[in-house]
Structure 1
Amino acid sequence: MEAELIIMFMVAATTSAYFLWFHQLSRRLTGPKVYPFFGSLPILFLNRARIHDWIAGNLRSCSINGGSGTYQTTTIAIPYFARKQGFYTVTCNPKNIEHILRTRFDNYPKGPTWQTAFHDLLGQGIFNSDGETWLIQRKTAALEFTTRTLRQAMARWVSRTIKTRLWLILEKASQEQFPVDLQDLLLRLTFDNICGLTFGKDPETLSTELSENPFATAFDSATEATLQRLLYPGFLWRLKKLFGIGAEMRLRKSLQVVENYMSEALTARKLNPSDDLLSRFIKKRDVDGNIFPNHLGADTSSVALSWFFWLIMNNPLIETKIINELTSVLEETRGSDPNTWISDPLIFDEADKLVYLKAALAETLRLYPSVPEDFKYVINDDILPDGTKVPAGSTVTYSIYSVGRMKSVWGEDCLEFKPERWLSETGAKFVPPKDGYKFVAFNAGPRTCLGKDLAYLQMKSVVSAVLLRYRLSLVPGHKVEQKMSLTLFMKNGLKDFKYVINDDILPDGTKVPAGSTVTYSIYSVGRMKSVWGEDCLEFKPERWLSETGDKFVPPKDGYKFVAFNAGPRTCLGKDLAYLQMKSVVSAVLLRYRLSLVPGHKVEQKMSLTLFMKNGLKVYLHPRDLTSA
């Protein structure tokens, strides 16, 4: 009897102590409601289909009445774990993002959670490594993104793929009036281009038959299965891996296909060295004499283009401005005959002159960044610029998606699609934000995307290839929404994050504990009025232009736009990405007007990149340039 009373007393005391602790914890947290033991997981699970908008909504609520656009929550409401593995600091404050990506870069690596989950797929490649390994691979990869290699990539891969394959498929669809999934075509095109640039080998997934490619299918499947590891406790996916069940079984089979393809490419390059990226890595060996693992990273140009074409179909006046710029540039370089404008895809110099188109693409990435959120692990305790304390061992998330939707960042019109916000007063120059960290679609700081310029070039080429020939329309009944994936496909893109090495305090005053994870929501940054103004939700390319409209003007605060990352990890391929996007856009818009298939729903896919869940199904209508 006494033993039972003692047990009952201990249970009651433990329960009381726990709920007293939980009450104090929930009072300190500023984010969504937390529940005993499960923290904010239940409400996160309920909002998983709209995760980016949910995060943006939470951050907007935190920025009301002078808030900084930062909140903290936990997914494990258990003592010790609540301030470590399960503790999340979520922010869309550009000053915090700059602090994470540049000022205290070494304190916010990818961290063990990310590296362990993605090791089977990405190994110790540039997308998954930290420290000296990452730095060496970064320097090697940077050699592949010079102006000379960008010109070569345009001619050898982008232009050739557009002319010999993309146009054939679009022309057939236009003549026979059957709908095409534009996102699927763009994914295939950019996948082929990236493989060519990386391995010197074109898998030809974009073909008139549009048949499945084993490598592309396996890589996509492996990526999706790997993503699921981030959604479950580590012990659970390790247990599934041990017994080879569920997603882990699919991952094992898919990785075998990927490894076989990589092995063939590696053998070919050893026998016949070239100037592609793989050949450069073969020459770089670690201390054990092993070649650095080099797995293909997720390409984001196709995702950005899918959202761009959807926005264009909903903003015909902006489409007209893009067409006018394209025809003006091509008339200058090719003469007054419209037939010469659509005879060949853009060359490097033509794509480079498309200022308004670049502004429209940047505006697309502001509202729909390919990587909506990024995560960082906190090594040491820190304090963010807004005063938030971040404990070591926790996670910091910066929401790139939310930044673009914050009025405090982009102004009252932040939700408008407004390319003019990227132009000079005359409209002649592209003017990025003065605060470079209010736009980090290509990351920022040391990890800025190496392929940024290639992405812009490719996107410009594709847009011109399509819009100069066709007018697009959405397929009736097609729903456009986000998809759960590594990128913001059209259902619920997922995230990238940083591990906290040491306790730190972010610029907004948030304390981040060592060992936690910091998630920065790139998606949210673009939707914050405090960052982009009242029109932050508008698609407004003009916000990227100088007053005259002749220059592209990026934000002065470079960390309000980190679509290409920022700081030391700024994407090396940023310029290549822009060139590629310009090429694709011009290749499409000079030929076609696009319209959504009626009923097609456009929504996001849950992924690390902002894919469209159902693809982008459109009709192509031949464009008459003589009346443009």
Structure 2
Amino acid sequence: MEGMKELLLNGAMAHAKISDIAMALMGLFAFSAIVQRLTNKGPMMWPIMGIIPTLFFHVHRIYDWTTEVLISCGGTFTYRGMWMGGAHGSMTVDPSNIEYMLKTRFSNFPKGWYYRERFSDLLGDGIFNADDAIWKEQRRVATLEMHSSRFINYSAKTIQDLVHNKLLKLIEKLAKSNDRINLQEVFLRFTFDNICTAAFGVDPGCLALHLPRVPFAKAFEEATELTLFRFMVPPFVWKLMKFFNIGSEKRLKEAVRVVHEFAEKTVVDRRVEWRKFGGLDDRSDLLSRLIEAQEGMNDRFSDKFLKDFCISFILAGRDTSSVALSWFFWLLHTHTHVERQILCEITEIINNMRGVKDMSDVVFGVDELKKMDYLQAALSESLRLYPSVPIDFKEALEDDIFPDGTPVYKGDRVIYSIFSMARCEAIWGKDCMEFKPERWMRDGQFATESQFKYPVFNAGPRLCVGKKFAYMQMKMVAASILLRYSVSVVEGQDVVPKMTTTLYMKNGMLVTFKPRVFPSSNPPVFTA
């Protein structure tokens, strides 16, 4: 009996000690949370878990929440992830910090291993995933070839052909049937065909009238999405899945295999074609120009270099323009005065074109597109509010300090929110939330803004080499559609951003097309 009492007494004392320890830990947890809130202007940093619980609570509106936090704390805050997880850094919208990172101290803020490791299976050492010497060589090559008159003319011709022979014919079919169509899906198909034609000289045929499923296109899309999943889970999770070849990593491996086999075969076939015909003078796509420039030289580009380069080019060009065009038409739906001003500009240009007898004859060339200043302003304003890449980040190689005084430590991942920048009065003024193309116009002409205030196309040495190509593509598509059709967004949709590294619409956007009715004058005349 005495032994039983002693046992119960010891158990009670042990329980009391455990309770005391638990209470002490809870008290320490609460005290740490209170101190953090009093000393840190940024988001809540939880003991042990860091910012992770806070992100979880706001994941359904992550971009808007990030914007609110950045504005409330003056434009920059520091963060840390789970204890012992190695995730730490800062987030900013301050243009001076962004200029410091992307230009002034460019060498100290590369993409970094965190980013490159996750994209390595899909992109290898392609320009979109490279740093240092490998990036510099690809940048040099891309700038030389993409800014050549030959590639510009070829790009314009391929866009023209794709718009008039496929896109407009598909829209004509949809307009006659009065079918609803997911516009984002159509633009994704268009830009994929276009960028593959520009990069590889191969049209995968995604935009055929019956909207087929193309294995290469499907694999590329799946490989991209599954790669992005790696950014959303701890490294030990996806690395373990990769080791055992299970789950998303198994699907990623298969998708990457399909993409790489297509790219490798295209490279090999093009080299065989060069040897067979003694050159590729009749081809102007990027792959052919690179082979033509290097074939026969001792230091010619390897097949892997060409494969990685072109896959990166496709990734950079497919999603960005298609997503930008989708948000552009979404904004026009609620800003009809902007649409009418664009039509005024387009029809004025048509009035000065020769040989135009009816609407079907109108094919915009590079010269006509260059004159579309207001359309470029509207596209730029759309990209300001809904940037195709809403956030980007760099990794600090060494300790540093930003112009606003924020310390940066070696290994920090510094995130800058392009989405949030557009919504900061300190950067864009009190009308920052308005869709206002006029902010880009000076004396009737389009005027650029600082890259670091508007890093939509990146900035500094990594400024997008395809920027001119992207504007030409978007202007060609937008002008050609708006001239012929009124695009109506189906009512009742919840059109919101999807949480990925590209600002997709979460469920796309259903629209209908109605042929535009013009005044009796020919060519048509509009008034603002």
1:249-268 superposed matches below 5 A = 249-268=250-269
In structure 2, the residue matched to 1:104 is 105
Counterpart Cα distance in 2 of 1:316 and 1:155? 28
Instruction: Deviation per CA, 1:20-45: give whole Å up to 9, x if none.
Output: 77776665543211222211112212
Counterpart Cα distance in 2 of 1:336 and 1:258? 43
Counterpart Cα distance in 2 of 1:569 and 1:17? 48
1:216-615 superposed matches below 5 A = 216-273=217-274, 274=280, 275-282=284-291, 283=294, 291-292=304-305, 293-294=308-309, 295=311, 296-298=314-316, 299=318, 300-334=320-354, 337=357, 339=358, 341-377=359-395, 500-546=396-442, 548=443, 550-555=444-449, 557-615=450-508
3-state secondary structure, aligned to 2:428: strand
Q: After TM superposition, give the deviation of residue 86 of structure 1 in Å.
A: 1.6
Instruction: Deviation per CA, 1:253-282: give whole Å up to 9, x if none.
Output: 111111111122111211124443224555
3-state secondary structure, aligned to 1:515: coil
Tell me, yes or no, if the aligned pair for 2:32 and 2:47 is still in contact at 8 Å. no
**Which one-letter code corresponds to 1:173 in the other structure?**
L
Structure 1 position 74 matched with structure 2 position 80: yes
Counterpart Cα distance in 2 of 1:58 and 1:113? 25
Instruction: Deviation per CA, 1:350-383: give whole Å up to 9, x if none.
Output: 0110000000000000000000000110xxxxxx
Calculate the TM-score normalised by the size of structure 2. 0.87
3-state secondary structure, aligned to 2:409: coil
Q: After TM superposition, give the deviation of residue 46 of structure 1 in Å.
A: 2.6
Q: After TM superposition, give the deviation of residue 198 of structure 1 in Å.
A: 0.6
Give the 3 Å change call, closer, same or farther, for CA 98–155 of structure 1 in structure 2: closer
Structure 1 position 41 matched with structure 2 position 59: no
In structure 2, the residue matched to 1:52 is 63
In structure 2, the residue matched to 1:495 is none
Structure 1 position 625 matched with structure 2 position 518: yes
Give the 3 Å change call, closer, same or farther, for CA 540–147 of structure 1 in structure 2: farther
Counterpart Cα distance in 2 of 1:12 and 1:49? 33
Q: After TM superposition, give the deviation of residue 213 of structure 1 in Å.
A: 0.9
Counterpart Cα distance in 1 of 2:34 and 2:399? 24
Counterpart Cα distance in 2 of 1:620 and 1:288? 46
Counterpart Cα distance in 1 of 2:215 and 2:333? 33
3-state secondary structure, aligned to 1:604: coil
In structure 2, the residue matched to 1:421 is none
Instruction: Deviation per CA, 1:567-599: give whole Å up to 9, x if none.
Output: 000000101111111100011000001111122
Structure 1 position 91 matched with structure 2 position 92: yes
Q: After TM superposition, give the deviation of residue 336 of structure 1 in Å.
A: 6.8
Q: After TM superposition, give the deviation of residue 143 of structure 1 in Å.
A: 2.2
Counterpart Cα distance in 2 of 1:349 and 1:154? 14
**Which one-letter code corresponds to 2:388 in the other structure?**
S
1:142-221 superposed matches below 5 A = 142-146=143-147, 148-149=149-150, 151-221=152-222
Which shifted more, 346-355 or 145-154?
145-154
**Which one-letter code corresponds to 1:263 in the other structure?**
E
Counterpart Cα distance in 2 of 1:615 and 1:16? 45
Give the 3 Å change call, closer, same or farther, for CA 99–129 of structure 1 in structure 2: same
Q: After TM superposition, give the deviation of residue 617 of structure 1 in Å.
A: 1.2
Instruction: Deviation per CA, 1:379-424: give whole Å up to 9, x if none.
Output: xxxxxxxxxxxxxxxxxxxxxxxxxxxxxxxxxxxxxxxxxxxxxx
3-state secondary structure, aligned to 1:612: coil
Tell me, yes or no, if the aligned pair for 1:30 and 1:72 is still in contact at 8 Å. no
**Which one-letter code corresponds to 1:509 in the other structure?**
G
Give the 3 Å change call, closer, same or farther, for CA 18–183 of structure 1 in structure 2: same
- Output the aligned Cα RMSD: 2.7
**Which one-letter code corresponds to 1:351 in the other structure?**
L
Gaps spanning 5+ residues in structure 2: where? 1-9, 275-279, 520-524
Counterpart Cα distance in 2 of 1:116 and 1:14? 41
What is the number of equivalent residue pairs in this alignment? 488
**Structure number with larger C-alpha Rg:** 2
Instruction: Deviation per CA, 1:118-151: give whole Å up to 9, x if none.
Output: 1001111000010010000111111232251454
Q: Normalized per residue, which structure has more strand?
A: 1
Give the 3 Å change call, closer, same or farther, for CA 53–618 of structure 1 in structure 2: same
Q: After TM superposition, give the deviation of residue 290 of structure 1 in Å.
A: 6.3
Give the 3 Å change call, closer, same or farther, for CA 16–346 of structure 1 in structure 2: same
Q: Normalized per residue, which structure has more helix?
A: 2
Calculate the TM-score normalised by the size of structure 1. 0.73
Q: After TM superposition, give the deviation of residue 175 of structure 1 in Å.
A: 1.1
Q: After TM superposition, give the deviation of residue 224 of structure 1 in Å.
A: 0.8
Q: 2:41 aligns with which of 30, 34, 47?
A: 30
Instruction: Deviation per CA, 1:311-339: give whole Å up to 9, x if none.
Output: 001111110000000000111113674x1
1:8-19 superposed matches below 5 A = none
Gaps spanning 5+ residues in structure 1: where? 378-499
Q: After TM superposition, give the deviation of residue 115 of structure 1 in Å.
A: 0.7
3-state secondary structure, aligned to 1:73: strand
Counterpart Cα distance in 2 of 1:29 and 1:216? 46
Tell me, yes or no, if the aligned pair for 2:155 and 2:198 is still in contact at 8 Å. no
